[in-house]
Amino acid sequence: EKVRDEIINKLKNLRDPETGKRVIAKVQKREDIYSGPYVNNSADLIVSFSPGYRVSWQTTLGGVPPEVVEPNLKKWSGDHCTSDPAQTEGVFFMNRVVELPGKPSLQDINPTVRSLLGLPQDGSLDGHSLLISGESEAQAEPQVNIPNTQGYNVLFITLDCTRADYISAYSDASLANTTNVDALASRGFLFENAFTGFTFTCPSHTIMMTGKYFNTGQALGMAQRSSMPQAFSSAGYATGATIGFGGMNPGACTVSSMFQDFDNTAINSKPGVRGGISTNYTINWIREHKDGKFFFWLHLYDAHPPGLGVGGTQENNYARSIEYVDSQVGRAVDALREEGLENKTIIVVLADHGMNGQFGSIPDNRKLYDGAAHIPMIVYVPGANPQGQKIESLASTVDLAPTLSELTGVPYEIEDGVSLVDVMRKPGKEARSEVFSSYNFGGLQQQMARTDEWKLILSGAGMMNSDSELYNMAQDPGELDNVADSESYSLESMTGLLDTYLASKTAPGGPFNPPGARPPDQPQWYGYFPDSGSRPPMDNQTLQDLRAFGYIN
């Protein structure tokens, strides 16, 4: 065992003498990959090469080269015989329509064929059926019935700065008791792996309302694009909104221009107003528009530090603030019920972003760890049965516009989002294979790409950590072990994924500054003027407001 560990350590540290790149991507012990009575017949170590390196041609023919690692400049090599399937992808054809919830592999063929023929599974096999729940093709029907909801109302509720693990429907260890949000989850769809497109309030909401990713924080001017509320308005809906955060004023974040009715109370009462005031407005507005179709947005700001300012620890203050927000969600839903609207209103409850583990006067949403990027997201659809579905698939706030478009029948041009209705009907299905998120404010820039297994964070100008951060989320959900140096193959794959995303999202206001770039002379505002591409300087009043909101020191 000591010999294996020594070899593994040396292989992982082996570098190309000309380029300094790591030659070996990863080394695994056979028992970490294989199981069963014949595991000892396998090689002691399974070696995966970094991109650009390959196995020896002699090795695949049974030969033993004089050196463990040698230059292989021949035209042919044994790359197709490599033992790491992630590096040698194959092709899977089947002349039947099947559901593929994950990536297929050779060992999945036997269980899949058994499912197609209706045969019982053999528990000794390593593979899994590629059909949902191992059902036969004839049985692979929608598992959840969603009735026709065209023309239904929409109540869209966002909870500012709310972590998913402080919603008790998401975590048994939650310090907050969120009975009202939990009640919606028990009757609706809870997305376990939902992520915000931006960990900053105004850009996050702009992404929700447009179904469009953008990476440099350009929220000012985004309202000039088509938006979900405007599409509902064109379809004959009354649209309205009330916000608890004064920072979403028209000069900084023009989501206000997307709605027919927009409550300015918070803007005129900086830094914001209590959720009770916003909910009062919501209830009155719904009562005034109950005889027609409506789309209404209620934004609750109270969980954002400093919160309610109750006694005890900062964690206790945060939990009690979230419970207060939860009570306002309950009041809004009760109002729908009292007006006889609950059975024809789709209700969406989600956070614009969370916050990371530190509790202080300034919310730490500036790093794209899951505490800030992972959010609670619940969709209640009247009449959906069976109720209380948990969706494991990755989902993003950018997906809400196309989802509500499909549910209500309101036409809306899809740009970056995908409708989640199909995965709501079939909770075992995969809606998307990756999500992206950004943070860009005050000279601090980060970009994130995340799959089920991997998460890459790149830091730009002004960030404390300007190196790549790569985390294996399956093995390290706490994001404690940065494996960017040891997992070069996965790093390159995730970097390529993020690069492709960034290349498609660069817009006026400037591209993503690479690590080590010089920060701007003053904090970057999160708006831009689409015509000129220039970024306006922040005046003293704006700086004062942002300090009051806790976003800059």
345: which 2 tokens? Answer: 């209103």
CA separation for the pair 54, 74 (Å, rounded) = 11
- Residue 88: inside a domain: no
Helix axes 314-338, 179-187, angle to 10 degrees: 50
- Residue 312: inside a domain: yes
- Residue 136: inside a domain: yes
CA separation for the pair 26, 432 (Å, rounded) = 27
Cross-strand pairs, 546: none
Our count of domains for the chain comes to 3
Question: Coil, strand, or helix at residue 86?
Answer: coil
How many CB atoms neighbour CB 105 within 10 A? 16
Residues 517 and 462 in one domain: yes
Q: Which residues contact 353 (CB under 8 A, 6 or more apart)?
A: 161, 196, 198, 199, 200, 201, 204, 365, 372, 373, 375
Residues 268 and 119 in one domain: no
- List C-alpha distances in Å: 121 to 109, 116, 118, 134, 485: 12, 11, 9, 9, 41
Residues 56 and 122 in one domain: no
Residues 274 and 162 in one domain: yes
**Residue positions counted in the chain:** 553
Cross-strand pairs, 389: 189
Q: Which pTM was predicted? A: 0.71
* Half-sphere exposure at residue 534, Cβ-oriented, CA atoms within 13 angstroms: 4
- List C-alpha distances in Å: 532 to 188, 528, 529, 536: 45, 9, 6, 11
How many CB atoms neighbour CB 318 within 10 A? 26
pLDDT (0 to 100) of residue 76: 58
Residues 175 and 246 in one domain: yes
- Residue 308: inside a domain: yes
Helix residue ranges, H only, 71-193: 109-117, 179-187
The CATH number of whichever domain residue 514 belongs to comes to 3.40.720.10
CA separation for the pair 106, 97 (Å, rounded) = 18
**Per-run averaged pLDDT (10 residues), the chain, 553 residues:** 89 81 81 81 83 68 69 61 59 68 73 83 77 51 86 97 94 91 97 94 89 60 70 97 77 76 77 87 97 97 82 84 96 97 98 75 64 96 95 96 97 90 91 90 81 90 66 92 89 88 58 41 31 42 52 48
Residues 389 and 490 in one domain: yes
pLDDT (0 to 100) of residue 466: 58
The position carrying tokens 């955060």 is 245
What counts of helices (H) and strands (E) characterise the chain? 14, 15
- For 111-180, strand residue ranges (E) read 153-159
Residues 136 and 157 in one domain: no
Distance linking the first and last C-alpha atoms of the chain = 53
C-alpha 193 chain-centroid distance: 7
381 touches 149 (CB < 8 A): yes
* Half-sphere exposure at residue 417, Cβ-oriented, CA atoms within 13 angstroms: 30
Residues 172 and 277 in one domain: yes
pLDDT (0 to 100) of residue 508: 33
pLDDT (0 to 100) of residue 523: 34
CA separation for the pair 114, 7 (Å, rounded) = 41
Residues 435 and 307 in one domain: yes
Strand pairing category for 189-195 and 377-380: antiparallel
- Residue 312 zone, left/alpha/beta (φ > 0; ψ -120 to 50; rest): left
- Residue 462: inside a domain: yes
- Residue 246: inside a domain: yes
Q: Which domain holds residue 234?
A: 153-545
DSSP-derived letter for residue 538 is P
Among 81, 114, 131, give the residue marking a domain's end: 81
**235-256 burial, b if ≥16 CB within 10 A, otherwise e?**
bebbbbbbbbbbbbbeebbbbb
- Residue 87: inside a domain: no
Q: Which residues contact 513 (CB under 8 A, 6 or more apart)?
A: 445, 460, 461
Q: Which residues contact 89 (CB under 8 A, 6 or more apart)?
A: none
Residues 374 and 476 in one domain: yes
Residues 199 and 287 in one domain: yes
- Residue 86: inside a domain: no
- List C-alpha distances in Å: 381 to 3, 82, 331, 466: 59, 48, 18, 43
Residues 198 and 120 in one domain: no
C-alpha 492 chain-centroid distance: 20
